[in-house]
């Protein structure tokens, strides 16, 4: 039986997933990545670490197969926006600036002034935000001119892994559309934006289809991974696009809420639809002729992880700390006794578009215990995601239910919390591997194992019983959510 390998370059680690033609997991492993923060608001990782972690994760996943894996194709996924700077010999120039790096406010202002807000809407379908790739290139030009002089190509993390696997420099529409250098509506690099910012079109790689073969595993990579050379490598997709595929969200009508390091609410569309206020993003899906609108909060699972490891670390016992904190939070009433958490630990995108925003506990008193803080953190993250849900509602996108993936799908308490806060039923699928599973399916489609991405999802995914929203609980969340919404405007000038 043929098997398909998905590799997802996340922020906290690289995940490798080996699945068969029915979508069953044959092996999976994650190799951790470290986040470097040289200054507040900065975030970097070295691309060489992406490759080393990929090798480690793939070898560990392959070792779990009871017989030698017959890998028919490889699919790739990875964190969006993150800039990998390469010289003419495809060598890494410096550590990559990550999607959550907020150092490029001045560059974003310059882009908006130079291209114009209307020009950005027309040519990129998005505003200039600190996390995007283009501002990072301009930051390099201004602040590290010697490094910029060496710059020949800028690629995304998964595309750097493609380079290591195949020797091919390429990307695909879902990642390209998140660079601010791509015409999302017309699906081609924007010569208008590149000319306006005085960057050559040679800086960006060729674009291939997400479910098309982009290259083949070369001898050096095959030896490193323990696989035969020549395996096709698909174009792949951005982590959010692959995460949507991983839960079967490939056509308009539904939406998915994802908790990774960041948090997203994503709804596919049949044409490029742009939020009038540009609070949400419009990107290409990894499914042909499909786009999506997405709201993004920069720290969702990342905020909970920070709280767990920094504030609640003294709670460590023999039990799982995530489980313990969730259980404690479940015992606290709605609203956490007047305590509110703002999850803006690395700035925020939707709806505030403010790289300088920061996190806060507001309303602390001697009456509050760790359980109240845990509840406030989980409520704050969910309120931040509700901001995006409300934008999609205002755009008249159909939202009958929300599919869940990532950390927010694993806990029954957090699933119910989301259903009650959003006022919508939420639903899991039978696969929990998210972007890595979506990447594996793209690989399978690229070699003809399935006729299309929707066909691959239909053959491998089924849905679990939905978690219904409690009407009384949804009403009870109205006041805590209103309090949450009031705090950013009150504190914005103080960060």
Residue 42 to residue 235: CA distance in whole angstroms: 29
Is 214 inside a domain boundary? Answer: yes
Instruction: Report CA dihedral (459, 464, 470, 471) to the nearest 10 degrees.
Output: 20
Torsion over CA: 48, 238, 104, 39 (sign): negative
**Res. 474: pLDDT tops 80:** yes
Domain boundary among 228, 249, 270: 249
318/245 same-domain check: no
**Res. 260: pLDDT tops 90:** no
- For residue 437, what are its two tokens? 């599973």
Is 85 inside a domain boundary? Answer: yes
- For residue 8, what are its two tokens? 């997802």
pLDDT digit string (tens) for 187-232? 999 999 999 999 999 999 999 999 999 999 999 999 999 999 999 9
Is 169 inside a domain boundary? Answer: yes
Residue 135 to residue 109: CA distance in whole angstroms: 9
Domain boundary among 249, 267, 292: 249
333/407 same-domain check: yes
Residue 104 lies in domain: 3-249
3-state DSSP call for residue 186? coil
- For residue 180, what are its two tokens? 């601010």
DSSP secondary structure letter of residue 325: H
219/312 same-domain check: no
307/244 same-domain check: no
State percent of the chain over pLDDT 70.
99
Geometric angle at alpha carbon 258, from 99 and 364, rounded to 5°: 85
108/218 same-domain check: yes
Is 182 inside a domain boundary? Answer: yes
Catalytic, out of 20, 175, 183, 239? 239
244/342 same-domain check: no
What are the angstrom distances between the C-alpha of 184 and each of 92, 148, 274, 284, 292?
Answer: 27, 26, 10, 6, 11
- How large is the average pLDDT for residues 415-427? 97
160/13 same-domain check: yes
Is 130 inside a domain boundary? Answer: yes
101/227 same-domain check: yes
Domain boundary among 249, 276, 309: 249
Domain CATH number, residue 316: 3.30.420.40
**Res. 437: pLDDT tops 70:** yes
Q: Is residue 137 a contact partner of residue 83, using CB atoms and an 8 Å limit?
A: yes
Residue 419 to residue 405: CA distance in whole angstroms: 14
Instruction: Please state the domain count of the chain.
Output: 2
3-state DSSP call for residue 269? strand
Whose CA is closest to 377, among 390, 388, 362?
362
239 part of the active site: yes
99/242 same-domain check: yes
pLDDT digit string (tens) for 316-371? 666 689 999 999 999 999 999 999 999 999 899 899 989 889 999 999 999 999 99
Residue 267 to residue 470: CA distance in whole angstroms: 23
Is 279 inside a domain boundary? Answer: no
- How large is the average pLDDT for residues 434-457? 97
Residue 316 to residue 298: CA distance in whole angstroms: 26
What is the predicted pLDDT for the residue at 206?
97
212/318 same-domain check: no
244/383 same-domain check: no
pLDDT digit string (tens) for 78-116? 999 999 999 999 999 999 999 989 899 999 999 999 999
Is 97 inside a domain boundary? Answer: yes
Is 321 inside a domain boundary? Answer: yes
């Amino acid at each position: 039986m043929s098997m398909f390998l998905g590799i997802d370059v996340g922020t906290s680690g690289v995940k490798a997933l080996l699945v068969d033609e029915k979508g069953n997991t044959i092996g999976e492993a994650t190799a951790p990545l470290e986040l470097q923060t040289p200054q507040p608001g900065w975030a970097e990782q070295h691309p060489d670490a992406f490759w080393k972690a990929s090798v480690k994760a793939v070898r560990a996943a392959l070792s779990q197969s009871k017989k030698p894996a017959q890998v028919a194709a490889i699919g790739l996924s990875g964190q969006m926006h993150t800039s990998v700077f390469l010289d003419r010999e495809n060598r890494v120039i410096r550590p990559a600036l990550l999607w959550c790096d907020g150092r490029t406010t001045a560059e974003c202002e310059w882009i908006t002034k130079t291209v114009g807000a209307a020009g950005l809407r027309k040519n990129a379908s998005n505003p200039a935000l600190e996390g995007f790739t283009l501002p990072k290139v301009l930051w390099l030009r201004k602040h590290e001119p010697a490094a910029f002089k060496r710059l020949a190509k800028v690629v995304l993390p998964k595309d750097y892994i493609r380079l290591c696997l195949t020797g091919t420099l390429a990307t695909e529409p879902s990642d390209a559309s998140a660079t601010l250098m791509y015409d999302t509506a017309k699906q081609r690099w924007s010569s208008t934006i590149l000319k306006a910012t005085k960057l050559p079109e040679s800086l960006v790689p060729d674009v291939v289809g997400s479910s098309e073969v982009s290259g083949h595993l070369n001898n050096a990579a095959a030896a490193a991974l323990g696989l035969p050379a020549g395996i096709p490598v698909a174009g792949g997709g951005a982590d959010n696009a692959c995460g949507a595929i991983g839960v079967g969200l490939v056509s308009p009508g539904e939406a998915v809420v994802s908790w990774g390091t960041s948090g997203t609410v994503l709804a596919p569309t049949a044409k490029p639809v742009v939020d009038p206020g540009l609070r949400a993003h419009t990107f290409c899906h990894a499914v042909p002729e499909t786009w999506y609108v997405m709201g993004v909060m920069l720290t969702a699972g990342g905020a909970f992880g920070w709280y767990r490891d920094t504030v609640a670390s003294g709670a460590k016992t023999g039990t799982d700390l995530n489980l313990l904190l969730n259980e404690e939070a479940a015992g606290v009433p709605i609203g956490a006794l007047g305590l509110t958490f703002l999850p803006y630990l690395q700035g925020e995108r939707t709806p505030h578009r403010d790289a300088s925003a920061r996190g806060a506990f507001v309303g602390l008193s001697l009456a509050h215990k760790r359980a109240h803080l845990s509840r406030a953190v989980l409520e704050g993250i969910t309120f931040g995601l509700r901001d995006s849900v409300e934008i999609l509602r205002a755009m008249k996108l159909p939202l009958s239910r929300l599919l869940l993936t990532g950390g927010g799908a694993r806990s029954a308490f957090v699933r119910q919390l989301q259903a009650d806060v959003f006022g919508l039923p939420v639903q899991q699928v039978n696969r929990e591997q998210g972007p890595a599973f979506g990447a594996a399916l793209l690989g399978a489609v690229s070699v003809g194992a399935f006729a299309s991405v929707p066909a691959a999802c239909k053959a491998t995914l089924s849905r679990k019983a939905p978690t219904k929203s409690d009407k009384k609980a949804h009403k009870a969340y109205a006041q805590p959510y209103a309090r949450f919404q009031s705090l950013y405007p009150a504190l914005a000038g103080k960060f």
